[in-house]
């Protein structure tokens, strides 16, 4: 079974702090994604990566950056956390090749910025 893990289930940070969210997958997938999920807005794509050191902006990249130094690990970075970044963050991965391959999701990190 594909396994996608996220470093924290719950996280509380203060405004202005630098925040790192880590995601690891164990199936050698090329593609990895970061989404945020908010009530009434559904899931929105922040960034994705289709290979090591490669990244592309999603629909809402402002205020975020990402890092992919190793194939299995994709990090989301909030350079200076703000209260409007309080949300549920979901990581996903999928095999490369066919663009329509199924995405597998991690359990999510609920981030609260106070």
For other proteins, which stretch binds (CB under 8 A), given 14-22, 60-68, 71-79, 95-103?
95-103
Q: Which of 21, 28, 36, 23 is nearest to 94 (CA)?
A: 28
Alpha-carbon torsion (43, 47, 48, 52), positive or negative: negative
- Give the integer Cα–Cα distance in Å for 47 and 106: 15
CB of residue 32 to other proteins, shortest distance in Å: 9
For other proteins, which stretch binds (CB under 8 A), given 11-19, 63-71, 74-82, 96-104?
96-104
- Give the integer Cα–Cα distance in Å for 45 and 18: 20
- In the list 74, 76, 106, 111, the residue contacting other proteins (rule: CB under 8 A) is 106
- Comparing CB distances to other proteins, the nearer of 31 and 75 is 31
Q: Which of 8, 1, 2 is nearest to 89 (CA)?
A: 8
Binding-site ranges for other proteins (CB under 8 A): 4, 31, 33, 40-43, 45, 48, 50, 56, 58, 90, 92, 94, 96, 99-100, 102-108, 110
């Amino acid at each position: 079974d594909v396994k996608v893990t996220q470093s924290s289930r719950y996280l509380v940070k203060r405004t202005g702090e630098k925040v790192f969210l880590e995601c690891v997958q164990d199936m050698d997938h090329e593609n990895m994604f970061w989404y945020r999920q908010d009530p009434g807005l559904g899931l929105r794509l922040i960034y994705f990566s289709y290979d090591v050191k490669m990244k592309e902006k999603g629909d809402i990249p402002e205020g975020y950056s990402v890092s992919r130094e190793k194939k299995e690990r994709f990090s989301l970075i909030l350079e200076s956390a703000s209260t409007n970044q309080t949300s549920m963050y979901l990581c996903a991965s999928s095999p490369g090749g066919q663009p329509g391959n199924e995405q597998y999701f991690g359990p999510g990190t609920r981030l609260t910025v106070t």
